[in-house]
Chains A and B, each alone.
Chain A
Amino acid sequence: MANGTVALEEKSFYEESTNKYSGILSWLLTTDHKRIGLLYLVTICAFFIVGVILGILMRLELIAPGPTIMEAQTYNTLFTLHGVIMIFLFIIPGLPAIFGNFFLPLQIGAKDVAFPRLNLLSWYIYVIGAILVLISLFLPGGPIDTGWTFYIPYSVRSTTNVSLAIFAAFVLGFSSILTGLNFITTVHRMRAPGMGWFRMPLFIWSIYSTAWIQIIATPVIGITILLVIMERAFGVGIFDPALGGDPILYQHLFWIYSHPAVYIMVLPAMGVVSEIIPTFARRTIFGYKAIAFSSLAIAFVGYLVWAHHMFTSGISDTARWIFSLLTFIVALPSGVKVFNWVATMYKGSIDPKPPFLWVMSFIVLFSIGGLTGLVLGSLATDIHLHDTYFVVAHFHYVMFGGTGTIFFGALFYWFPKMFGKMYSIKWANISVALFFIAFNMLYFPKFIMGYMGMPRRYFDYLPEFTNLQVISTVGSWLMGITMIIIFANLIYSVKKGKKSPENPWGGVTLEWHTASPPPLENFHEIPTVTHEPYDFSQLEEMKHESK
């Protein structure tokens, strides 16, 4: 793709800093996009682990009917915190903030993002938001218990620390907006010579589309949160019907952000899939432009479907069928992507390394998640399934099976580039297999229970659900073990892993044209792009370059 050259003895970004400090300060005051990406990696993983532990505790409570290890109020708090942490602290910032930061400049041949200081500020805002969430747990009043959707009227009446917790989400939104702004500017202004829009790797297309959603949708949740806080503090009557307000207006405003936010979560994952498949199938991507434009189409149509979360909330019949129709339409660009990925593998020379295996489990799990979304998008079936475990199973298949799986896929794919080390392939393979089994044990029974009528967010259940609940809980233990294996393998490899070759997978996008880990300003000299992004004919040239 490029004729950039690599000096073998160059210092990596670990050894060279953007500031005069050393040690921890050189990290906390860094403006290097790679270090900021790693700061995000550490903080986001820490919150992910907290979210996983909360999830396992909830499953443990549900191992038998009746109170098992906690009371109802504690359970309410746990599912709220599990949701808030997983959504606002893990999955929304996850892929863009970690891998977008680290790889966007690398993949477009830039030295850094357009606004490096703003980038560091975004991380600090994220940390401040996270600290506010933590503070809200321990102040008098107790942790928030409204569910992560903060629905009116309960969120106005609840005596728990709702205002502070949602203010934390408000602060976190700014981190998201600033990151989006930075990425859009970087993509417009800083592409290497020769990198036209249609020579950009598809991960960049997806991050670019995501950034637009971050900028346009996030302010809506910001304003909504401020209105809830005003409603709680002063009773202004925007949402309270007793004062002339409209509680359904809250749901509209909330989902106008939170549905596009689903695409903030999943679009970058789709971008990573479009990187991994060509690399491991040794074949250029099938339908490059179709995938690129489907990212933009998802970003756009994703704005138009929010009220499918509200079919049973009392919205008008006209709105119901319009939003149901639009929901079916948004499935089309996702389908375009899946077919193109599968077509890319056809007659490819497939090398089933761990990142590729993560992608395989993504395609299966995400397809189940996506298709069950259509069941919920149909008006008639939604009335039966709304607010049941079916919904819980659906969004875990999309979010965890989709984005979560690719979070690990991306980590295993780019780990050698980020750390210059290689992990144990054997343990990585074991963890993918265990993940797939644990995931389906944990969430598939929820589809059945939901269909049978088990409502979500209940800490108790009827005895006939016991068997399926137990299978799900055992699945959560297996998932916990899988997480331990994944993190142990990666952390051990960072410390004691074997040195990785520069290009262990034979990737051809620009990040594989530089050293592993990359030098401070990414490339010895700014590369000139001469090939299409997934043109594997350049692999031979690249071997020659690195010699």
Chain B
Amino acid sequence: MNEDKQNKENHEHITPYSTYVLVWLALIALTSITVTVSGIDFGMVALAIAMLIAAVKSSLVINIFMHIKFDEPIFKVFLMVSLFTLVIIFVLTFFDLVNR
């Protein structure tokens, strides 16, 4: 392995504390929104809204706190494999649920 590559691999992205605090505040804000909207009757859309907010929150955690945004692409591939599997499991389970 040549030296350049080694240096590149050892290079760590340093996120400033301010970003972490901002993300933390964003997470708290989103949690408050989740709690607030749960009191409003959106009918069928309620679940979709809750899931959407949860998805935004988890993507913040995964990208910033878990450093996936700054890491090698292979980790994104791994993550996608897991998400893809999850989606398939959901779809197949719903073939049962919606047709019962």
Contact = CB atoms under 8 A, between A and B. Distances in A.
A309 B68 CA distance: 37
A318 B95 contact: yes
A307 B96 contact: yes
Contact of A322 (B74, B82, B95, B97): B95
A319 B96 contact: yes
Interface in B41-100: 74, 81-82, 85, 88-89, 92-93, 95-100
Nearest to B95: A319
B82 A252 contact: no
13 contacts: A188-B74, A216-B81, A256-B89, A303-B85, A304-B88, A314-B100, A315-B96, A316-B99, A318-B96, A318-B99, A319-B92, A319-B96, A323-B92
Contacts of B92: 304, 307, 319, 322-323
A317 interface: yes
Interface string A312-333: 0011111100110000000000
Contacts of A256: 89, 93
Interface in A209-224: 212, 215-216
Contacts of A314: 100
Contacts of B100: 314-316
B89 A303 contact: yes
Interface residues of A, number: 18
Given A188-B74, A216-B81, A216-B82, A319 B89 contact: no
B74 A303 contact: no
A216 B92 CA distance: 17
Contacts of A303: 85, 88-89
Nearest to B1: A193
A304 B100 CA distance: 19
A261 to B, nearest CB: 14
A188 B78 CA distance: 12
**Which of the listed residues B96, B97, B98 has the most CB atoms from chain A within 10 Å of its own CB?**
B96
Given A188-B74, A248-B96, 7 more contacts: A216-B82, A216-B85, A315-B96, A316-B97, A316-B99, A322-B95, A323-B92
A319 B93 CA distance: 8
Interface string A288-305: 000000000000000110
A215 B81 CA distance: 11
A500 B93 CA distance: 53
Q: Is the interface of A mostly helix, strand, loop or mixed?
A: helix
A464 B41 CA distance: 62
Contacts of B97: 316
**Which of the listed residues A188, A252, A314, A319 has the most CB atoms from chain B within 10 Å of its own CB?**
A319
A215 B74 CA distance: 16
Nearest to A184: B78
**Which of the listed residues B74, B81, B88, B97 has the most CB atoms from chain A within 10 Å of its own CB?**
B97
A316 B89 contact: no
Contacts of A316: 95-100
A315 B35 CA distance: 34
A216 to B, nearest CB: 5
A322 B96 CA distance: 10
Contacts of A215: 82
Contact of B99 (A188, A216, A319, A323): A319
**Which of the listed residues A307, A314, A316 has the most CB atoms from chain B within 10 Å of its own CB?**
A316
A326 to B, nearest CB: 8
A188 to B, nearest CB: 7
A252 B99 CA distance: 15
A315 B96 CA distance: 6
Nearest to A307: B96
B52 to A, nearest CB: 22
Nearest to B93: A252
Nearest to A314: B100
A319 B82 CA distance: 23
A252 B96 contact: yes
A256 B99 CA distance: 19
Nearest to A305: B92
A445 B68 CA distance: 55
Contacts of A304: 88, 92
**Among all A-B residue pairs, the 3 with the closest Cβ atoms:** A316-B99, A319-B96, A318-B99
A297 to B, nearest CB: 14
A450 B100 CA distance: 29
Contacts of A323: 92
A149 B81 CA distance: 27
Contacts of A188: 74
A60 to B, nearest CB: 41
A92 B93 CA distance: 25
B42 to A, nearest CB: 20
Contacts of B82: 215-216
Interface in A125-139: none
A384 to B, nearest CB: 22
Contacts of A216: 81-82, 85
Contacts of A212: 81
**Which of the listed residues B74, B81, B82, B93 has the most CB atoms from chain A within 10 Å of its own CB?**
B93
B81 A317 contact: no
Contacts of A307: 92, 96
